[in-house]
Amino acid sequence: MTPSLTYLQFHAVLVLPVLAGLALTARYRLASRRVVLSGTALLAALALVYTTPWDNYLVARGVWWYGAGTVLTRLWAAPLGEYLFFVFQPVGVGLWVARYGVDTTRPLAIPVPTRALGLLAAGLVAAVGVALLDSPDGLYLGSLLVWSVPILAIQWAFGWPFLVAEWRTVALGTLVPTLYLWVADRIALALGVWTLSDQYTTGLAIPLLGLPVEEAVFFLLTSLFVVQGLVLFAWLCDRWG
């Protein structure tokens, strides 16, 4: 199948218009405009740095590949469009979750045993990921879970009680962008912009949508990283400000 969209055209059609709409209708209830934008910029930079090695490794292993003619240029194994995605997603999610408020008057002090529970939860995610890596078809999902653990451990150890208390903002901030990204990703897969390897994926899919579970978990986790990171950043800035 000849893809009908290039990677950059995918961004032009399905990503950039959404970012423009979010920017034009932005509301800053989570924190001040300065805090939201600086926090979002920081998270986008971290996403680019942290995701690049893992993503390039999986592309080089053949976990997924790109349709003929869909890639303008590459840096290492990954195409330019991939790096743009690392930045565009945090920006979009950040502008979305900024619409929701949180109670930042809660004190930053959390008992060490309570923080340890956050580390324990992240450790359970790591255990599942390592177990999946025992089989070739668990490479994508297993490596994804292991890759996610340092971020989850930091965020949950720092302030999981605050995130739980603000569950409505965390849930709405995460799930709405995730659902949109699921649909956009499913379109890209259907058009052949990128293709997943049967060898390195479980074959499980989200009912009705038909999206591979690996892709679904990726967009859920990465959106969660941004939402949790920005919520905690707003809390920290308010307490220290």
Q: Can you say how many angstroms the Cα of residue 87 is from the centroid of all Cα atoms in its chain?
A: 10
Distance CA(146)–CA(164), nearest Å, equals 23
- In-domain check, residue 147: no
> Are 237 and 31 spatial neighbours (Cβ–Cβ below 8 Å)?
yes
Give the DSSP H/E element, type plus range, for residue 75: strand 74-75
What does the pLDDT read at residue 133?
97
- In-domain check, residue 114: no
- In-domain check, residue 144: no
Q: Containing domain of residue 41, as a range?
A: 7-108+164-240
- In-domain check, residue 129: no
- In-domain check, residue 142: no
For residue range 53-68, what is the model confidence (pLDDT) as tens digits? Answer: 999 999 999 999 999 9
What does the pLDDT read at residue 63?
97
Distance CA(135)–CA(202), nearest Å, equals 10
- In-domain check, residue 153: no
For residue range 120-134, what is the model confidence (pLDDT) as tens digits? Answer: 999 999 999 999 999
Does pLDDT of 2 surpass 90?
Answer: no
Show Cβ contacts of residue 222 under 8 Å, excluding neighbours closer than 6 positions: 47, 51, 89
Distance CA(82)–CA(78), nearest Å, equals 6
- In-domain check, residue 120: no
pTM of the model: 0.95
Work out how many domains the chain is built from and give that number. 1
- In-domain check, residue 189: yes
